Amino acid sequence: MPHTKAGKAFTELILETFQFKGRLLAAGDRLTKPLGLTSARWQVLGAVEAQSLSVAQIGRRMGLARQNVQRLADALEEEGTVEYTFNPDHKRAKLVRPTGRGRINIKKLGLLQEQRANRTTAGLTASEIEAAINVVRKLRARLEEGQTPP
């Protein structure tokens, strides 16, 4: 069965997304380097900014393998950016939360990210970006649900 126009556009979106992700990670690594972090570590740190989560919860939320999150969380703990705490819902799966140092890094990265976001989106409207977000969210939801409409 040949691609529909939407199916072909979706395939192009996938390829563009892969390239975009690579550029985002490289730019994130440059942004986080002065703080001794990487994009991957920033992703884990950002996941626990608002609330403590288990490694498995971080993995599910961020779409990462639990083993990778564990490795990253262990490295962040070793450098004093996060700590493991008691999880009342699970005896063995501790919660990850930022330390004081971690919260300082989150705040610094937030300011740097605001500046980068403003520079990167110059000349675009919020409506254009919001439309892209809505399409990506709808497609992600279908993939998460395993939904393949006829």
Q: Which of 6, 34, 19, 43 is nearest to 135 (CA)?
A: 6
For the chain, domains (ranges, CATH) are 21-116 (1.10.10.10)
- Looking at residue 82, its pLDDT comes to 98
HSE at residue 71, side-chain half, CA atoms within 13 A, is: 6
Query: What percent of the chain shows pLDDT beyond 70?
Result: 97
Q: Could you read off the pLDDT of 24-73 as tens digits, one per residue?
A: 999 999 999 999 999 999 999 999 999 999 999 999 998 899 999 999 99
User: What's the pLDDT band for 147 if we cut at 50, 70, 90?
Assistant: low
